[in-house]
Amino acid sequence: MEEAMAQSQVSFAPGQIVKGTVIEIRQKEVMIDIGYKSEGSVPVNEFEDHDEELKLEYEVDVLILQLEDRDGMVVLSHEQAIFKKNWDNIKTICEEGGHIKGRVKAAVKGGLIVNIGVEAFLPSSQIDVTTPYDLDPYVGQTYDFKVMKLNLERQNIVLSRRELIEEERSAKRAELLSDMVPGDIRKGTVKNLTDFGAFVDLNGLDGLLHITDMSWGRITHPSQMLATGQELEVVILDINKESERVSLGLKQKQANPWDKIEEKYPVGGKIAGRVVNLMPYGAFIELEPGVEGLVHVSELSWTKRINKPSEVLKAGEDIEAVVLGINQDEQKISLGIRQLDTNPWDLAEEKYKVGAKVSGKIRNLTSYGAFMGLEEGLDAMIHVSDISWTRKINHPSEVLQKGLDVEAQVLEVDRENQRISVGIKQLAEDPWDKIDELYKIGDLVDGKVSKLASFGAFVGLEHDIDGLVHISQVSEERIEKIKDVLKVGEEVRARVIKIDRADRRIGLSIKAATYTTEQLKEEEAVLDALKPGEDLVALQHAFDTFGDEGEAETAEPEAPASAAEEAKAEEPEAPAKDEADAPTEEEAKADD
């Protein structure tokens, strides 16, 4: 009776928070007795955990919304009672920058709705350190949050979970940085891969593992060794506490392969390796992970002229080489492939003695001579001046062609410069040694016109000797153009009017073929008195200028029209025999 009287004295008003007892649980509402003349109802969805809160005789806080509705029932709200009860607590937490626990209620556009006693909004950017794309996995989960913004008038609350995570990570980073020293080995997880390395999470502190510190061997991208999410142990290389940057290493867990490198690969020893990179100046050979040697392009062959390594090697190929030198400080090894074979030039002086007779095919023609193959990779040079004793040869294509089998005599072997000089004419006797026996002034000779020039005609005589008929010696009458009176291949009879042993020249006269002895002496005196620059060009000058102007009006039947094209050289030109007979290798070894 006393309790009933005391309760009847309690005043009830809308907006008041009172305690009530659960008397019935329905499908959509919960019936609660607050001691008023009628029961009140609360929507069932206002109770977060039905198993714990929704029990008969369970006491809960409710807010009176309306004392009587149209059915005479009291309208109550459990959720608003909690909101009003916790509002002052939330304001205090926000002012002090404190934390509050809440349960994610639903995912909405731009973030999550969180129940912290009242509904609050958690933006997507504040859910985690990285913004998640899928928000559904967070619904129903309970987390700690930090109140970021509070609007009392609109009763708006904005939360952040990210700030708590970052504060926690910052604390962990500070702890890790204080404990960490270079040389430590730490466990971590690969967080991200870039072209230059990988970022590793060291339990709250990110460190950079540079690509050069991943392996002693050659790798082109971190993905060749690592994958995102992979767990691994790394070595602490350097720590910058101010910027919180940590440099990591993976290869440092293993011994440096360059230690005692000279013992593993002695100079002169043979090694096996794999071609890993081709450059214009050489090829890099991997001997073992982290150890590479360079084969310079000049060390690929003793005899072949190789312009770039890709002509004989390809990436990924397994090869053998010889160690030529080691620089441990700069971590460089010089290798050679040609040293696997005997240098043919070491045996050249013995094999091709001066004066010996050799044979081979013409391999190439140049403006200054021809190259004859003696053996694989070993050529000899025939200078244009060593082709004939008697003929003035302007280009070797006049008498030689590629693929022609020839014999020659060894003239010189230069092992240091890797050159062998041979001559064709040296196999025959020089007819000029006995020219006095073959021809005398006044002799009548028969021959065939071989060339025409503006100043006269060359006539081929016996013993492979050419004589020159100057234009003034063709006829008693003045001749303007030699081609008007003579043709290549025409047979003529002429008289020897001059023999010059020093310059190896014979002067002929067609018109003097019918002269008397007195006329011959008179004509010879006229020829001897001629000087260059006068109306009649001297015989000597005619010979000298033939190489410059003679080709304009002459044709050589036995020389093909394309001889000049066929004679284009692969080697650089050398204008005279006393200069370089063959191209020299000027390429400087490049720094790898």
* 3-class state of residue 175 by DSSP: helix
Q: Residue 523: pLDDT band by 50, 70, 90 thresholds?
A: low
| pLDDT score, position 97 | 62
| pLDDT score, position 167 | 81
* 3-class state of residue 164 by DSSP: helix
CA nearest to 382, candidates 416, 419, 431: 419
259 DSSP 8-state letter: T
| pLDDT score, position 356 | 87
Whole-Å CA distances, 46 to 108, 163, 540: 19, 29, 127
- State the CATH number of the domain containing residue 296: 2.40.50.140
Which of 402, 427, 452 is a domain's end point?
427
Whole-Å CA distances, 551 to 152, 321, 404, 470, 556: 110, 53, 25, 16, 9
d(CA 59, CA 54): 10
Q: Residue 575: pLDDT band by 50, 70, 90 thresholds?
A: very low
How many CB atoms are located within 10 Å of the residue 392 CB? Answer: 17
Same domain, 409 and 322: no
Which of 412, 427, 442 is a domain's end point?
427
- Residue pointed to by tokens 């930090």: 146
pLDDT of residue 434 exceeding 60, the answer is yes
Same domain, 46 and 157: no
| Pair 515, 477: CB distance under 8 Å | no
| pLDDT score, position 323 | 92
Write the pLDDT tens digit of every residue in 318-359. Answer: 989 999 999 888 888 999 988 888 777 777 777 888 888 888
Chain centre distance of CA 23: 83
Same domain, 193 and 248: yes
Q: Residue 577: pLDDT band by 50, 70, 90 thresholds?
A: very low
Same domain, 71 and 127: no
Does some domain include residue 200?
yes
How many CB atoms are located within 10 Å of the residue 417 CB? Answer: 11
162: Cα within 13 Å, side-chain hemisphere = 14
Does some domain include residue 445?
yes
CA nearest to 280, candidates 313, 256, 257, 231: 313
| pLDDT score, position 10 | 61
| pLDDT score, position 275 | 92
Q: Residue 52: pLDDT band by 50, 70, 90 thresholds?
A: low
Q: Residue 525: pLDDT band by 50, 70, 90 thresholds?
A: low
Same domain, 396 and 442: no
Same domain, 331 and 358: no
Same domain, 184 and 233: yes
363: Cα within 13 Å, side-chain hemisphere = 16
Does some domain include residue 570?
no
- Residue pointed to by tokens 């060593």: 386
Rounded to 5°, the CA angle 321-325-326 comes to 110
pLDDT of residue 527 exceeding 70, the answer is no
| Pair 78, 62: CB distance under 8 Å | yes
Mean pLDDT, range 390-396, rounded to an integer: 82
Percentage of the chain beyond pLDDT 90 is 8
| Pair 62, 18: CB distance under 8 Å | yes
pLDDT of residue 83 exceeding 70, the answer is yes
Tell me the whole-structure pTM to 2 decimals.
Answer: 0.43
| Pair 262, 332: CB distance under 8 Å | no
pLDDT of residue 183 exceeding 70, the answer is yes
Mean pLDDT lowest for which of 74-88, 115-129, 297-311?
74-88
Residue 115: burial class (beta carbons within 10 Å; 0-12, 13-18, 19+): middle
d(CA 24, CA 55): 9
Which of 289, 308, 340 is a domain's end point?
340
Write the pLDDT tens digit of every residue in 217-245. Answer: 778 898 888 888 888 888 888 888 777 78
Same domain, 407 and 307: no
CA nearest to 392, candidates 561, 255, 550: 550
Same domain, 325 and 420: no
Query: Which tokens is 513 given?
Result: 């073929």
Same domain, 436 and 549: yes
Write the pLDDT tens digit of every residue in 531-566. Answer: 433 333 344 444 444 444 344 343 333 333 333 333
- pLDDT: is 39 or 550 the higher one? 39
pLDDT of residue 470 exceeding 80, the answer is yes
Q: Residue 582: pLDDT band by 50, 70, 90 thresholds?
A: very low
Does some domain include residue 448?
yes
The gap between the terminal CA atoms of the chain, to the nearest Å, is 106
d(CA 424, CA 463): 16
Chain centre distance of CA 10: 91
Write the pLDDT tens digit of every residue in 406-421. Answer: 889 989 888 878 888 9
Does some domain include residue 322?
yes
* Domain enclosing residue 270, as ranges: 265-340
Mean pLDDT, range 513-535, rounded to an integer: 62
| Pair 456, 508: CB distance under 8 Å | no
| pLDDT score, position 335 | 93
Mean pLDDT, range 185-195, rounded to an integer: 87
Does some domain include residue 69?
yes
CA nearest to 59, candidates 94, 33, 85, 92: 33
H or E stretch covering 287: strand 282-288
Same domain, 331 and 395: no
Query: Which tokens is 435 given?
Result: 């020219």
- pLDDT: is 9 or 131 the higher one? 131
Does some domain include residue 259?
no
Query: Which tokens is 297 given?
Result: 């392009």
268 DSSP 8-state letter: T
Domain count, the chain: 6
Does some domain include residue 54?
yes
d(CA 548, CA 218): 61
Q: Residue 87: pLDDT band by 50, 70, 90 thresholds?
A: confident
Same domain, 412 and 456: no
